Amino acid sequence: MHYGADDEPVSDNLNWYAVHTHPREETRAAYNLRAWQVETFDPKIRKCRLNPFTGAAIYESKPLFPRYIFARFDVRLLSKVCFTRGVHRVVSFGLSPAPVDDEIIAFIKSQIRQDGFIELGHGLKSGEDVMIMDGPLKGLIGIFEREMNGADRAMVLLKAISYQGSIVIEKSRLKSVNSSD
C-alpha cells in the first residue's frame, strides 16, 4: 500500500472500469481523471466524412465507444471518480462497479495502429469484390487491389461495361460485396 497526493492510502489493487461520461465529454473526463492520478484509456477511431459541397474527405477523431472511457483505479476511489467533471457514472451491476478484464483492455490496445487509432472491421483482401458506397461512383463494383497511403486509401479495379480502370479511393467508401452488413 502507498499513499496518494492527499495522504489517503491507495491500494496496489487496481482494476479497469468502464466509465459512462456526459455527452461528448470523453476527453474532458479522461483529462480530469488523470489529474487525480487515475490511469485512463480512451480509444479513438478515425472517421471519414465527406464535405457535402466539395466531396473531399474530412477525417475526424471519434471515440470508439461514444460516452464511455476506461479508468484504472482502486474501488475505494469510486466516489472521487464518480464526482469528477465529465463523468456521469461508473458502470455497475447492483451496487458494485463492474471491473473490466485486463485482457479486454490489452486486446483493444493491441488493435491500435501506428497513427494512434483503432482499426475497425476486417481488412479487405486483394482480389475481393467491393462496392463503392458513396460519392460520384456510388454503386459501382470493383476488385480490391491493395491499400495505399497509410491504409486510408485503396486501389480498386473497376468493373464496368466495356471498361476496366483503376482508381484510388478512401477505404471508408468501400464495402465487401460478400459482407452481410
pLDDT in tens, 54-97: 877 788 888 988 999 999 999 999 999 999 999 999 998 888 89
Q: Which residue has the higher pLDDT, 67 or 151?
A: 67
Asked which of 23-32, 33-42, 133-142, 156-165 is least confident by mean pLDDT, the reply is 156-165
What phi, psi does 172 have (nearest 5°)? -65, -15
Q: Is 130:158 a contact under the CB 8 Å cutoff? A: no
| Distance, CA of 155 to CA of 137 (rounded, Å) | 14
C-alpha cell at 68: 464511455
pLDDT for 15 equals 94
Work out the percent of the chain whose per-residue pLDDT is above 70.
77
Asked which of 107-116, 139-148, 156-165 is least confident by mean pLDDT, the reply is 156-165
Q: Which residue has the higher pLDDT, 175 or 6?
A: 175
Residues 100-139 pLDDT 10s: 989 889 988 988 888 888 876 556 677 778 877 777 677 7
Domain 129-176: which CATH number of 3.65.10.10, 3.20.20.370, 2.30.30.30, 3.90.1150.50: 2.30.30.30
Handedness of CA 107, 114, 44, 75 (dihedral sign): positive
**Domains of the chain: which residue ranges?**
2-110, 129-176
C-alpha cell at 21: 461520461
What CATH class has 2-110? Answer: alpha beta
